[in-house]
Structure 1
Amino acid sequence: MENQRELALQAWCEAVTGHAAGRLKTVSGDASFRRYFRTSDGNRTLIAVDAPPPQESLQPFMAIAAAYGNAGVAVPEVVAFDEAQGFMLLSDLGSTLLLSELSNASMTRWYKLALQDLPAIMQVTETAQGPLPAYDEALLRRELSLFHDWLLERHLGLRLNASQQLIWQSFCDTLVTNALEQPQVGVHRDYHARNIMVTGDQQLAYIDFQDAVKGAVTYDAVSLLRDCYVRWPQKRVSDLSAFLFNELQRQNVIDAGVSLTKWQRWFDLMGLQRHTKAAGIFARLYHRDGKSGYLQDVPRTLGYLHDVAAAYPEFDDYRLWLAKMVMPALADSR
């Protein structure tokens, strides 16, 4: 089936461009059903996207790309699309992911560039299709439940007893409250070093934004600085978080009455929500979609959960449960 779609996509690309580029070259798949290929129109390379309906829709990507472009955010240009087939041609941003450019020496410079693009992304709370979906309580809880359903029960075979259930519920309630009490802004929702491209002129451009929502002001920042795929020293993360805090207060995105301590709690707890969700998704990608590569990232996400929770005495019971039950079960499963 995948091969048939690939041939159909190739034929569509050739019909659109009038250029027989031949076999498509795989660029990547991702954690969804979308696949990406490189092709040519005879003058320049292009990215061909296969987003099979009904699992995927091109509309959110195209609407958000237009809104981001209007806000001055660098994103791929939509060259052509066929919504019925789920095919799209995009301008080619190159092959250099920000992840491959990061080092101890360069990370501060690169991350400051990315953080300085966030206020423009935060401005985008609607597109030509209407308002972005709200990152509301229902969605936050649905994401948190991925950890319980897919990592704990399905992957590790853990069942929570009554007292553990209370610890888990209290943890989730606190994270949901934290997310909803923050200023609600435009959120990319997958803002990390594998979704940021370094272009030929050493600027940054952004991809994989089709799930954008209106949600917590710290969400994209913590996705970037506490990346599921790479971990940096806490001091550097805190310094960069404070850099963004000052930038957002200067631009009146957050109220002058919000303290850095308050911001840091927002940031830390938002990271706990994201890493809880991510660990669940990584397990689901393995069990439901047959993608085993993401399992190697689960220990890092649990490490973040354990270490960040340590800064907040209200999470002592949760952290103890994580350390005594969940982390050993994960180590055994490997």
Structure 2
Amino acid sequence: MDRTAALHAWLTRHLAPGFTLSAPIGDASSRRYFRIIRTDGPSLMAMDAPPASNDCQPFLTVAALLKPALRVPAVLAQDLEQGFLLLDDLGETDMHSALLQADGAGIQTLYLSAIDSLLALQSASQPDVLPDYTADTMADDLERFAHWYAGIHLGKPLQGSELAVWERSRALLIGRAQAQGKVWIHFDYHSRNLIAGEPMGVLDFQDARTGPISYDLASLLKDMYLPLPEDFRLDIAIRYWQKARAASLPVPASFDDFYADFEWMGVFRQLRTLGTFARLAHRDGKTRYIDDMPQALAYLRETCVRYAQLHPLFKLLETLTGITTQVGYTF
């Protein structure tokens, strides 16, 4: 019996006859979601997380932690041995889809709602509850760029002086990230993991941990699936910082310092994401993610050209990709 059939059979023990399953939703991991259409009530969601490559327990743990502060799915039934969860449905329209249909005012409203939910997440932070995003784990995550993107995707393994530049740049990025104030981070807080509504619904939080306060904002405002002009990013970042200060969250007292942290965190995330996209394409056969790489590179070039300490990384990116950009001003 394949997993979809096994999931359907499991659901028959919890639901009245006559329900149907949508096509699978999501393909960035082996975890899949299905919308359940029922004749006797509102739609529900089913998670299929094969136990060989997934553990449902972190989802359950984080859902319980976040439920008081955020609109997250309620767990209605579970079978951890098979890797199945039955969840309530937060809605069919994710933030990404809503943004594509919104005008300027609507776009701003959606992002303001997203930062309000982010602030609620961060304000719920408790020490020693979620695992730390350690410097060693950050280094391992960035190695996806060196191995999967540079080495496998581009066919240019880093060695010699290029490897030295990479290792120095990696150390700088990790040091800057680790120096930030720490809060709970969703770890993948972008438009496809948020459900439009008030408050914003939040999905795919199972990898949540304690980490740098600008991490999730960088994920949101430097979203590889929906590029934003910098003046808009700056406006939302200012609004976020003002609210974070009012909520006594650990952001710098100077917005300039916070924005620099945010930009460096974006560089970290874009490098990590390029490695992840390359791994999805070349290990897992999900080649559609290659189409999202140019936006990550655009964000990288935009930021690295500004900061003198990141110029060697900027030059390395030019060497690897063959894309050149006129160097402008630095901070």
With normalisation by structure 1, the TM-score equals 0.91
> Is structure 2 residue 53 aligned with structure 1 residue 35?
no
Report if aligned partners of 1:21, 1:39 keep a CA contact under 8 Å in 2.
no
Find the counterpart in structure 2 of residue 208 from structure 1. Answer: 204
Counterpart residue identity of residue 259, structure 1: S
Q: C-alpha distance in 1, partners of 2:29/2:129?
A: 23
Q: C-alpha distance in 2, partners of 1:44/1:22?
A: 11
> Is structure 2 residue 232 aligned with structure 1 residue 236?
yes
1:120-159 paired onto structure 2 within 5 Å = 120-125=120-125, 131-159=129-157
Find the counterpart in structure 2 of residue 306 from structure 1. Answer: 301
Q: C-alpha distance in 2, partners of 1:66/1:21?
A: 30
> Is structure 2 residue 257 aligned with structure 1 residue 259?
no
> Is structure 2 residue 22 aligned with structure 1 residue 25?
yes
Q: C-alpha distance in 2, partners of 1:48/1:134?
A: 29
1:241-320 paired onto structure 2 within 5 Å = 241-254=237-250, 258-320=253-315
Q: C-alpha distance in 2, partners of 1:22/1:110?
A: 32
TM-superposed CA distance for 1:62, in Å, is: 1.2
Structure 2 unpaired stretches of 5+: 325-331
After superposition, the C-alpha distances for 1:185-209 in whole angstroms (9 at most, x for unaligned) are 000011000000114xx54100000
Counterpart residue identity of residue 320, structure 1: K
Identity %: 33
Q: C-alpha distance in 1, partners of 2:193/2:26?
A: 12
Change (3 A) 1:168 1:292: same
1:188-203 paired onto structure 2 within 5 Å = 188-199=186-197, 203=199
Counterpart residue identity of residue 9, structure 2: A
Please, which moves more after superposition, 261-270 or 104-113?
Answer: 104-113
**Structure 2 counterpart of 1:324, from 300, 319, 322:** 319
Q: C-alpha distance in 1, partners of 2:305/2:234?
A: 15
**Structure 1 counterpart of 2:81, from 77, 80, 84:** 84
Counterpart residue identity of residue 62, structure 1: L
Question: Secondary structure of the residue that 1:167 maps to in structure 2?
Answer: helix
With normalisation by structure 2, the TM-score equals 0.92
Q: C-alpha distance in 2, partners of 1:40/1:110?
A: 27
Question: Secondary structure of the residue that 1:232 maps to in structure 2?
Answer: coil
Counterpart residue identity of residue 209, structure 1: F
Q: CA RMSD in A?
A: 1.8
After superposition, the C-alpha distances for 1:55-79 in whole angstroms (9 at most, x for unaligned) are 1111111111111112x20111111
Counterpart residue identity of residue 94, structure 1: G
1:212-223 paired onto structure 2 within 5 Å = 212-223=208-219
Q: C-alpha distance in 2, partners of 1:84/1:25?
A: 23
Question: Secondary structure of the residue that 2:210 maps to in structure 1?
Answer: strand
Aligned length: 320
